[in-house]
Amino acid sequence: MRLSKTPEVYQKKDIYEKLSNGILFPKEKVWFILSDNGKANKMISAAATTKQFSYRNHESHKCRYSHMSRFGKVAKMLDISNLKIQITIDNKFLSPDGAYGVYLVFRFCDPKISSRNRMYMNLKYKSGTETLHSYFGIQRDEDWMMIELCRFLNHKEDVSFMFLLESFSRYYCPSGAIYIEGIEFRAIKNASLIKTLWFSF
């Protein structure tokens, strides 16, 4: 059988397959991947530039190599009750008019804790001057967990997000240390969840 598709079509197919599997941009320390519904997702490494991740608690922060990470390097926080992580990120390269959730991707140094499907954690953080709490961490994949920071409708370009991560509750989190892989923008599949979005840009 003779194939009717042109090389250009095959090239586009190859690009789509690569994007569906995920692509790492080493210089920017960004992981880019297409979701099942074709929306663009991205994760920014916790080992990115100081403009994106600023660790105010220097004594508690260490950089570690990790074969479990997409970036090969993660941030280790020795004291979850005193994080002091300033995060400044933007919505570049996300799909327009899409609904997104913003998540902290992490794992506890104790692997038994990271294997839990759902865990009450009580992350305290700030967005601007407002103090917020995110209560449940869920299992992202076999290696990492994630906890939601906000949701938004991506109407405009060049929008910045600023968070100050303050602490996890030691009462609910028995491990004192965590590895942070990064911040992830994930497309929300269920359109009915749009009604609960915090921000609309």
Composition of the chain by helix, strand, coil, percent to 5:
10, 45, 40
- CA dist., res. 89 & res. 163, Å (int): 9
What is the CATH number assigned to the segment(s) 46-200? 2.60.120
Burial 135-160 (b: 16+ CB within 10 A, else e): eebebbeebbbbbbbbbbbbeeeeee
- H helix runs in the chain, sequence order: 7-21, 111-114
Provide the residue ranges of all domains of the chain, joining segments of one domain with +. Answer: 46-200
Interval 128-157: pLDDT, tens: 889 999 999 999 988 899 999 999 988 867
Stated pTM of the model: 0.85
Interval 7-38: pLDDT, tens: 455 576 677 677 777 788 887 799 999 888 88
Q: Tokens representing 78?
A: 């020795």
Is the alpha carbon torsion for 173, 110, 114, 61 positive or negative? positive
- CA dist., res. 6 & res. 87, Å (int): 45
Q: What are the φ and ψ backbone dihedral angles of 158, each rounded to 5 degrees?
A: 55, 50
**H or E segment and range at residue 157:** none
Place of tokens 């869920």: 138
The DSSP symbol for 46 reads T
Cβ neighbourhood burial of 23 (10 Å; 0-12, 13-18, 19+): middle
Q: Where is pLDDT greater, at 82 or 199?
A: 82
Rg of the Cα atoms in the chain: 18
Interval 91-123: pLDDT, tens: 888 988 889 999 999 999 887 776 668 889 999
- Mean pLDDT value of segment 171-177: 81
